[in-house]
Every structure is written in structure tokens, then in C-alpha cells.
Chains A and B, each alone.
Chain A
Amino acid sequence: MERALNKSRLILWSSVALLFVLLPFVFPGGFALSILSQLGIAIIFALSYNMLLGQTGLLSFGHAVYFGLGAFVTAHAINFVEAGVFGLPMSFMPLVGGLAGLVFSLLLGFVTTRRPGTPFAMISLGIAEMVAASALMFTTFFGGEGGIVTNRTAGGVVWGISYGPQIQVYYLIAVWCFISMALMFVITRTPLGRIANAVRDNPERTQFVGYNPTRVRWIMMSLAGFFAGIGGALTTINYEIITAESLGLMASGNVVLMAFIGGIGQFWGPIIGAVLVTFLQSFLSNFTQAWLLYFGLLFLLIILFSPGGISSLITIHAPVWRAGVMKRLLPSYMFALWAGLVTLTGIIGVIELLYRGTLVVGVNVAVTWVFSGLLVLVGAFFLRRAIRAVTQVWEDLTPELARWS
């Protein structure tokens, strides 16, 4: 077994830590800081989801249940601290959320992990529906429409940290994000992580070797629930309010998108997905109402053409890079990029015209329609050729790369 810690990894992880420290200085300002905090939470959540999908092969449509339950339990814990029932520094509050996530995923996972594959996906969806529906009924615990409001400064000032200013909360999230990332990475290198991969790829054979696949799934699911709970707890601290939406189906669907767009084949894939999805949701929605549609289309495109997500697009270029033949790919890539941009502009034009129809002022609506339509046609025509060109270059390169590897 390769060692989890070697020199290059050490350098990589320390630069990640440094990046976390420096980011607020690069992007100051209230909104940027909020986005960064949200990114940290999204990364934990997406990575914990990938423990299920990427590593154990369990496609879950209800992962937000553990995220949300962790968040609610944390909210109550913070309120108990404020009421003086017990004492716990705010810095360790994410552990409460993590434990809550662990307990709930142990309980529900016992039922759901009995069957892998498609039945698991459906069962997770059913459980998510059930929890989301009861979240609205049980107002004592879930706080009804207003949710549970907390005060993150309840823990008082410990070591000069009050968690009043957003910057302190950002660093709390950064620290926990880093710890969770590291732990989840280590898990992939442990025997447990390896057996989870085996269960994903061939459960029968794993069983013959002497491991119980159901139990392995159950353990992995509980661990995923633990990290999701940490993410939930950080959400509670960050927003100081938690509502039933955060354990709903939308939230569960969102994390599927994050993990898959980023790529489930690599450990760092979901990180890319979390960053991209969070950014797109925050910025795209400022510009267009159709952002959900663009999102769905992006997702479909990725499944159709690069099911390994963005991370696999990057990894397939690693041998090309090593062989030093990147520049032979570039012309066809530039061509594809150009054609893609033309098509994209046309498609955006059509979609926006459909959405805004009545909002667009001026008489030249027909002109914009024709223009967008033309762009789509021309772009699609060239895009087909570009894709053919790219495939051609790749085919030419394959024997050379084979020599290099």
C-alpha cells in the first residue's frame, strides 16, 4: 500500500492550507467573504457525498438529510449553550453536527444500505421525501417556516474569538474544511477505503474474500453522514438560521450535481464541482432567470460527453502534457472553442429571448431571433467539424502516448 503522506503530497496540502489562509486577503468585502464561507461548506458536503457515490458506488438522492439534521441538532445545541444547559466552545460545535449526522446515518443507513444500485437510489429518495415532509410537520424540532434561529456568539469569547465578525467564521470554516478534507483523503487510503472501492466494483468477489458488502456500505454511509453533519453544523454557524429547505430534495439534488460535474473518479473532482456550482449559482442567478436551465444543460452535456466530469477532462491531458505534445492539440481546441462559443451565444440568445420575450424593449425582436438562430446553426455546423478534428488529433496521438506511458 502506498503511503498516504509523501513529500509531494505534503507540499500540496500545505499550499492548500496557505491558500485557505490567504483567500480573504485576495477577495475582501462582505459578499466575497460570504461566498468563500459557502464554498468551504460546499466542499465538505460534496466530498462527503463522493464517499458514497465515487468510492462505494452508492448513488444517493437524499444526502442532504444528514447535512440538514446535523445542522438542526447543532442549532439546538447552540441554543442550549446560550441558555446555559451545557458549555461547549463554538469552535468544537461542528463535532456536534458531525455526531448527529453519524447517528442518523447509522440509523437510516441500516435500512437503506441493504440493497445497492438502483434500489438504493430510490430508497434514499423515498427517505429524503419522508424526512422533508416531516420536517414541516414537527414544528417543535424544525421550527416551522421560520426555522431555528441561533446566535453564533453564544459561546462567549474564547482565545479572543467571538465569532461575531464574518472573517472569524470564515477561518472556522476553513479550518474544519481542511481537517475534513484531510480526513476524507486519508480514509480513501485506508484498508476500509480500498474495500469500499472493491465493493463498488465487484461486491460478489469482495464477499468471497470475506468482507460483508452490506456492512462496508453501512460504515461508509455513516462516515459520509458524519462529514455531511459537520458541513451542516458550519452552515448553522455561518447563517445563524436553519430551515427545512436545507434538508430538502433540492439540496440533495444539488450535491449530486456538484459531485458529478466535478467528477467522481478523482478525490479532488467534487471540490472543483463544489466551487463551480456555488459560483455559478451565485453569479449566474444575478444575470439570468434561466440559470437552472443552463445548469441542467451543463449537467447533461457532461454526462453525455465527459461522464468523468471536469476532473477527468484534466487527467486525460496529463500524459499529453508529459509527452510534450500539447501544442499539437491546441489548434483543433481553439477551433472547437471558437465554434462552441458561437453556438453557446446563439443558444443563450434563444433561451433568453424565450424567457424575457416581453421584457425586451425595442422593435428588433425579430432581428435578434433570426440572429440567434443563425448563430446556433452556423456554430453547430462548425462545432461538428471541430469535434471531428479534435477526435482525429487524439487518434493520431494515441500511439505516441502509448510509447510514452
Chain B
Amino acid sequence: MRLVSLLCVGLLSLQVSCGQTNKEVVIGFVEGLSGPFANIGEVALRHLHLEVDAVNRRGNLPDGIRMKVIPFDNKTNPQEALLVFRSALDAGVDYVFQGNSSSVAIALTGAIAKHNRRNPEHPVLFMNYAALDPALTNEHCEKSHFRFDADVNMKMAALTEYIAVRKDIDSVYLINQDYSYGHAVSAAARSMLEVKRPNLRIVGDDLHPIGRVKDFSPYIAKIKASGAQAIVTGNWGSDLTLLIKSARQMGVDVDFFTFNVGMTGGVTTIGESGVERVHQVTNWHANINEATQENAKLYRVKYPDVFEDAYYGSIRRAVRMLEKAMIESGTHNPEVVGRALRDMEFADDAGLVSMRADNHQLLLPLFVSKLVKIAGKNDLVDIENTGLGFETLAEIPAEKTRMTTTCQFD
């Protein structure tokens, strides 16, 4: 099935018609599907298929049309992404879904906006479900781009709201990857903590090259020497796992405040060393309420053989809001649908969310949760069969994370 659709793409790009009817709205999933980050791309693709299948089963779209997903491999490289966007256009794409990598997202927003200006007869919308660079809804904002996850600043705002009430913490250490995302996390943490907890001491602010540190023990020794009680970090992937494992091994007992623990394999590799210590701020996790638990179980039922669990609440939200916008506007024309999305309110499994009309950033409640052993806790769902799961500590209402924006749609 997937092979056939891929074959169609290949043939279409060679200008051969594949008997495509107008009964389908094409969702181009432009994501890294090969190379080191391919597993994250595949996880997102499974989430997307789950939701799109649900939309097609409900069959409420105008004119009885159906959604069709075509995956495109952008190799996690901005230029490759622009190249496959061309082939996606040749395949008749209406909506582009992408999220893993802000550099690809920035390249795609620009390309899609340019395409829309030059080809108004075939507009395309960009549904961003995970690229967190604030620039996408500020200086690089475009009318055709919508973000369904909270950006770095919003997440940090939520996290610092929580740290502000944790009176037992009076010193934190910032450690981040040395690239624009890490810089943004560090800067946001500094400025927000200064306002929300003026007496809190920031005892260290380290940047380390991304993916090149093998042994984090010297950093841990330094953190230990600084006497910090908590670590705030935007690290992801092995940089996060190694940091947490190293702290545990050296018996440095601090709280971790992070963004990306729940990602595939994260909890498995961190394991016991993170229990009761690792906190994360997310827009979704399994143990928010009964509805989210149901959705997490749904994912396991749909994909019994895969290793990971449901993670991307933002993909679910994006597809459902897209469905709602199509039904409300009675068409699948991306331009009209885009207008319906602009200030839409939507009741999600995790709460009420709303799209900001001024920069196309979704305002959504954020959750601070902690990694715990689920044994003995009332009905918590675990992750990757580790016996560990996240327990909600605080819900930060959407309005608390509203940021000022420099976005100007032309």
C-alpha cells in the first residue's frame, strides 16, 4: 500500500499521471525518514497515520473527500527539504506536516510562502507540530504556517511558573547544547527566573557542543561544586541521557527540569537513574487525565509491535483542528481552511486550546510532570514497558504562556 503510493509519487514526479482523483486531500509528510533521526520521523508518521485514519473513518469532511498521507524523506537537511517539497508539489500536496528540526521548518516556511505568492491557484499550508524555534512565529512568521506545539519561550514560561512555586529550590544550574536552540533555552531561563524568582541564584550557565560530549562527568563535578539544587536543560537525545546518567553515577542528587525526556527511547535509556528527579514540561503526556490515557492506550492497540508509545499530542491536535476547519469552511481549499484555522478554539483531550490570529501560534495548557515508578500509583500508564511513567505536578493555563510577538503578516 505504502509502496504503491510511493511509486505514484515517483511516477508523478516524472510527469506520468497516476489516476489521481479529486476525492483526496493530500497531506505531505516532509520529515527525516533516513539517517540518524529517522526513528523520530517514523514515530511521528505513525501518529499521523493513526489520526488521519480516524478522520477518514468518521467521514465528516466536505464532499465526502478523504485525507491521504504521502511521506517524503527530507533527510533532516533544509536543502533536501526544499528539493522534496518540489516533488511534493508535483504530487499535488495541499498540507505539509513537519516538525523535527527547526532549521528545516524555517526553510520550509519560506519556501511555502514563496510558492503561495507565486502560485495562488494552488496554495499550501504548513502544519508545524514540533519545531520550537520562536523565530517561526516572530521574525520568520508566515500566514501559511501554523504551529501546534508551544515554542521554547512558552515552555520555559510554564517551567519557570512551576519553579517559582517550588520554594525548596534556591539555586539552579543551566546547561545547554551550544546552538541556537540551546542559546534560546538558556536566555529564556535567565530572564524569566529573574522576574518570577528574584532571590533564586543561577549558579552556573554552561554551553557544550551538541552531540560531541562523550563523558559528562566533568560537567557533573562542576555542577556539584557549584552547589546547585536543580538543573534546567533543553538537551535532547543522548546529550540528555548522558547528563542524567552521569549525575546519578556520581551520586549528585539534583532535580532535572527538561523539555524532551518522553521522546522515543529516552525513558528506556535514562531508566531508574531519573526516577523522582527528572521533570519535563510538555503539551501532552499520557497521564494528564482519563482521556489522554485512553489515547495512549489507543496507540498501543493500533501499533502493538512498535517499541515506542504515544508522544506527539500536537499531531493529534493538528489533524483534528484541520478536520474541524475543513468542516466549518465546507471546503478543503488550504487558503479558505487557513482562514478558518486562524482563531479557532478547540476542545482537546488535554484541555481547551486556541490559535492566535496574530502569529499563528497555538495557545495551549502546558504540563509539568515528573518521572515516577507507576507501581502502587493509581492507574498511571507507563512508557515503553519500563514500569516508569510521568505524573502531572502542575497544569499551567494557556494564558500564562502568551508571549508578545513581533510577527507582521503582510
Q: A282: which B residues are within 8 A, CB to CB?
A: 83, 87
- Minimum CB–CB distance from B374 to chain A (whole Å) comes to 26
Residue A315 CB within 8 A of the other chain: no
A-B residue pairs, 7 tightest by C-beta:
A144-B180, A146-B106, A136-B179, A31-B86, A145-B180, A145-B103, A285-B73
* Chain A contacts with B in 41-57, Cβ cutoff 8 A: none
Say which one of B30-38, B214-222, B226-234, B364-372 lies at the interface with A. Answer: B30-38
The B contact surface, by secondary structure, is: helix
Structural contact, B73 and A136, CB atoms closer than 8 A:
no
Structural contact, A286 and B10, CB atoms closer than 8 A:
yes
13 A-B pairs within 8 Å (CB atoms) are namely A31-B13, A137-B178, A146-B102, A146-B140, A147-B106, A147-B107, A235-B79, A241-B107, A243-B77, A246-B79, A286-B13, A287-B6, A287-B7
Binary per-residue interface labels of chain A (270-284) against chain B in the complex, 1 for a CB within 8 Å, 0 otherwise? 000000000001110
How long is the Cα–Cα vector from A290 to B89 in the complex, in angstroms? 24
Binary per-residue interface labels of chain A (236-267) against chain B in the complex, 1 for a CB within 8 Å, 0 otherwise? 00011101111000100000000000000000
Interface size on B, residues (CB 8 A): 46
Interface size on A, residues (CB 8 A): 40
How long is the Cα–Cα vector from A172 to B127 in the complex, in angstroms? 33
Residue A157 CB within 8 A of the other chain: no
Structural contact, A239 and B79, CB atoms closer than 8 A:
yes
Structural contact, A241 and B79, CB atoms closer than 8 A:
yes
Binding site for B on A (CB under 8 A): 28-32, 34-35, 38, 133, 136-137, 139, 144-147, 149, 164, 235, 239-241, 243-246, 250, 281-283, 285-287, 289-292, 358-359, 361
- Minimum CB–CB distance from B364 to chain A (whole Å) comes to 23
Structural contact, B15 and A29, CB atoms closer than 8 A:
yes
B73 touches which of A29, A38, A246, A289 (Cβ 8 Å): A289
B86 touches which of A34, A149, A289, A358 (Cβ 8 Å): A34
Residue B410 CB within 8 A of the other chain: no
Structural contact, A146 and B87, CB atoms closer than 8 A:
no
- Minimum CB–CB distance from B168 to chain A (whole Å) comes to 35
Q: B2: which A residues are within 8 A, CB to CB?
A: 359
Structural contact, A245 and B82, CB atoms closer than 8 A:
no
Structural contact, A245 and B135, CB atoms closer than 8 A:
no
B183 touches which of A144, A149, A244, A285 (Cβ 8 Å): A144
Q: B90: which A residues are within 8 A, CB to CB?
A: 29-31
Give 9 new A-B contacts, CB below 8 A, not counting A136-B178, A361-B1. A31-B83, A31-B86, A139-B179, A146-B102, A164-B118, A241-B82, A241-B110, A286-B73, A292-B35
Structural contact, A145 and B102, CB atoms closer than 8 A:
yes
